[in-house]
Amino acid sequence: MRLSVIGCGYLGAVHAACMAKLGHDVVGIDVDPAKIAGLNEGQAPFFEPGLPELLADSLGTGRLRFSTDMADAAGSAVHFVAVGTPQKRTENGADLTHVYAAVDALLLHLRPGDIVVGKSTVPVGTARDLSLRIADGCPGASLVWNPEFLREGFAVQDTLEPDRLVYGLADPANGAQLILDEVYAQALADVRPRLVMDYETAELVKVSANAFLATKISFINAMAEVCEASGADVSLLADAIGHDVRIGRKFLNAGLGFGGGCLPKDIRAFMARAGELGADQALTFLREVDSINMRRRSRMVDLTREVCGGSLLGQRIAVLGLAFKPNSDDVRDSPALSVAAQLQLQGAAVTACDPEAVPNAARRFPELAYTTSVEEAVQNADAVVVLTEWEQYRTLDPAALGRLVARPAIVDGRNCLEPSVWRDAGWTYRALGRPKAA
């Protein structure tokens, strides 16, 4: 089938490559000429495991190409809209400029029978409004709202093997559903649930899923605050409550909290939209979820200051990790970068390392010293802080590292190290939500 994917950011670039992998003829369209030129050369605009191989494969077979010209969408049966919906500059709501611009530009090339598939994360009510616009601009074309649940770092796998597909439809009898089933035939082959609903519910499934995940993380981080106050250990607590299948252990990792391009802005946009709908009271708890999350960053700075003897002034701090999570080079709203910047602003001399995120971090906060080498970062450090739990940081050898630092003190912002291993090797080990010493 011929498909177009409008917007080649995180979501769109991965979606386009995965649809080509499923055997479709795909054109990815974006307004950024540099991004399109790179993609046509097989260069992913961000770090995502598996994506470069997928791009090379599909570009090679000719099933995938990228363009800056919306006219290239003409002739496709299905058009995915995967543009960004960032937080507005001055308020919490989502900025829908790109979504409306993409749909308006696409309208000029739509034919009756075409299907527009919305994948961007939008405030509830957007899909119905867009469907009226499409019905006006091209009678006979229709809109399906098909939110995406992929995680960065697992984006290819999540797109090719989604745990569920959600279709929001204006009218289940209009045939769009069957065409989308055909697009996803391979992904549906292993009997994955395909859930059909109205537009509003489909839009809410996406934002409520992210709100739930954010709440789960802030819940365990709130428990971490109580653990710190009482001398308890949040990691043991999470393991113990996680055994209850009704609770589950996933997303109960206490630490620096959530960041990235989705969870923080999505909960804020959700609150803003609920307010517009007169249902703001229903989501006031998300304000607390947001503040618990932000408090973890300050607590991490405080803990580092404590380890440094009460002042950060002139202290050499080695920061391990800058990305908002491992297997990503994304530093959008990254708790790690925000803590690293705070440490520096409070007088420390920070050398920060990350295997992938250094270029993005350096663009956002050029004042830090950056390296990709742990050995370089920790040289003569007064304290080492772990802010992103990359596998290579989890498995560091405390004895070897101990020979490079000025003072063997480590603060584990992600609860990803084994305290006894570090303490036995002579280190002062501190972590968020864990007692001072065993």
Q: For residues 274 and 292, which CB has a smaller minimum distance to ligand UGA in the complex?
A: 292
Quick check: helix, strand or coil at residue 308? coil
Q: Which stretch binds ligand UGA (CB under 6 A): 72-80, 144-152, 173-181, 191-199?
A: 144-152
Measured from the CB atom, the residue of 355 and 408 that comes closer to ligand UGA is 355
CB of 330 vs ligand UGA, minimal distance in Å: 8
Residue 85 CB, shortest distance to ligand UGA, in Å, is 10
CB 167 within 8 A of CB 146: yes
67 φ, ψ (degrees, to nearest 5):
-150, 155
Is 436 flagged in the annotation as binding? Answer: no
Q: Report helix angle 199-230 to 126-137, nearest 10.
A: 150
Which of the residues 232 through 261 are near ligand UGA (CB under 6 A)? 251-253, 255, 257-260
Q: Is 46 in the site for ligand UGA (CB under 6 A)?
A: no
Q: Which of 35, 265, 325, 434 binds ligand UGA (CB under 6 A)?
A: 325
151 annotated to a ligand binding site: yes
Q: Closer to ligand UGA by CB, 110 or 269: give it.
A: 269
Task: Give me the phi and psi of 104, to 5 degrees please.
Answer: -65, -40
DSSP 278-302: T-GGGGHHHHHHHHHHHHHHHHHHH
Please pick, from the candidates 4, 120, 121, 218, the single residue that binds ligand UGA as defined by CB under 6 A. 121
CA distance 157 to 288: 33
The answer to whether the beta carbons of residues 410 and 428 sit under 8 Å apart is yes
Determine if 217 is a binding residue for ligand UGA (CB under 6 A).
yes
**Does the annotation flag 382 for ligand binding?**
no
Strand ranges for 190-258 from DSSP E? 194-198
Of the pair 168, 260, the CB lying nearest ligand UGA is at 260
The reply, when asked if residue 30 is annotated as ligand binding, is: yes
Q: Is 88 annotated as a binding residue?
A: no
Q: Consult the annotation and say whether 85 binds a ligand.
A: yes
* Nearest distance, CB of residue 121 and ligand UGA, angstroms: 6
The DSSP secondary structure of 263-277, one letter per residue, reads HHHHHHHHHHHHHHT
Closer to ligand UGA by Cβ: residue 60 or 212: 212
272 in a known ligand binding site: no
Q: For residue 304, what are the contacts with CB-CB under 8 A and spacing of at least 6?
A: 312, 317, 343, 348, 383, 385, 411
CB neighbours of residue 149 within 10 Å = 15
CB 417 within 8 A of CB 395: no
For the beta sheet containing 428-431, the strands, ordered from the edge strand earlier in sequence to the opposite edge, are 369-371, 349-353, 316-320, 383-386, 409-412, 428-431
User: 253 labelled as ligand-binding?
Assistant: yes
Cα distance between residue 336 and residue 340, in whole Å: 6
| Residue 324 binds to ligand UGA (criterion: CB under 6 A) | yes
CB nearer to ligand UGA: pick between 334 and 344: 334
Q: C-alpha angle 397/402/404, rounded to 5°?
A: 110
SS3 61: helix
How many residues of this chain bind ligand UGA (CB under 6 A)?
Answer: 21
SS3 39: helix
* Cβ proximity to ligand UGA, 51 vs 217, nearer residue: 217
Helix axes 335-345, 284-307, angle to 10 degrees: 50
375 vs 371: CA distance, rounded Å: 9
Piece of 209-217, 276-284, 313-321, 420-428 that binds ligand UGA (CB under 6 A): 209-217
What does the alpha-carbon distance between residue 264 and residue 272 come to, in Å, rounded to a whole number? 13
Give me the 146-175 binding string for ligand UGA, x by CB under 6 A, dash otherwise. Answer: --xxxxx-----------------------
Token digits for 83? 């543009």
| 150 assigned binding-site residue | yes
Contact residue for ligand UGA among 160, 262, 274, 331 (CB under 6 A): 262
Residues 16, 213, 267, 286: which binds ligand UGA (CB under 6 A)? 213
Check 138, 227, 262, 353 and give the catalytic one: 262
**Can 262 be counted among the known catalytic residues?**
yes
Among 87, 131, 146, 210, binds ligand UGA (CB under 6 A): 210
- Which regions of 257-405 does DSSP assign to beta strands (E)? 316-320, 349-353, 369-371, 383-386
Annotated binding residues, as ranges? 30, 35, 85, 121, 149-152, 206, 251-255, 259, 265, 325, 332
Active site residue ranges:
262
Annotated binding residues for NAD(+), as ranges? 30, 35, 85, 121, 152, 265, 332
Annotated binding residues for substrate, as ranges? 149-152, 206, 251-255, 259, 325
Site residues for ligand UGA per CB under 6 A: 121, 148-152, 210, 213, 217, 251-253, 255, 257-260, 262-263, 324-325
